Amino acid sequence: VFQIKNSINDEKLADKVSAEDKAKVLDAVNTTTQWMDSNQQAEKEEFEEKQKALEAIVLPILQNLSGGADAGAAPGGFPGAAGPGPAADADEGPKIEEID
């Protein structure tokens, strides 16, 4: 949420985003932030639903700003955000060989 707010207020984007789009993003961010502050005991699924709703509003706008996918953006579309975790079948951890 805060990453989105910082991105939309970035001076580099000021000339690329319309006032209408900026207002739409900031309204969605503020609404989500207020909900998070009021519902700190909410279930994980509720937070995920709010995140998806926010992304549905914000991602198309941010993608239009960058002319498609931002090279520095995570797959979720948020610049600087962490990418997805390893695949479920990925072998994690060190390989330990037998030592004599």
CA separation for the pair 46, 51 (Å, rounded): 9
Q: Which amino acid is at 70?
A: D
Q: How confident is the model at residue 92 (pLDDT cuts 50, 70, 90)?
A: low
Map out the domains of the chain as residue ranges. Answer: 2-11+18-65
pLDDT of the residue at 63: 83
CA separation for the pair 23, 20 (Å, rounded): 5
pLDDT of the residue at 74: 47
Cβ burial, residue 27 (10 Å; 0-12/13-18/19+): exposed
Q: What is the DSSP string of 51-84?
A: HHHHHHHHHHHHHHHTTSS-TTB-TTS-BT----
Mean pLDDT of 78-94: 53
3-class SS of residue 7: helix
* Cβ neighbours, 10 Å, residue 40: 7
pLDDT one-digit tens code per residue, 6-57: 777 777 777 788 888 888 988 999 999 999 889 888 899 999 999 999 999 9
CA separation for the pair 55, 4 (Å, rounded): 9
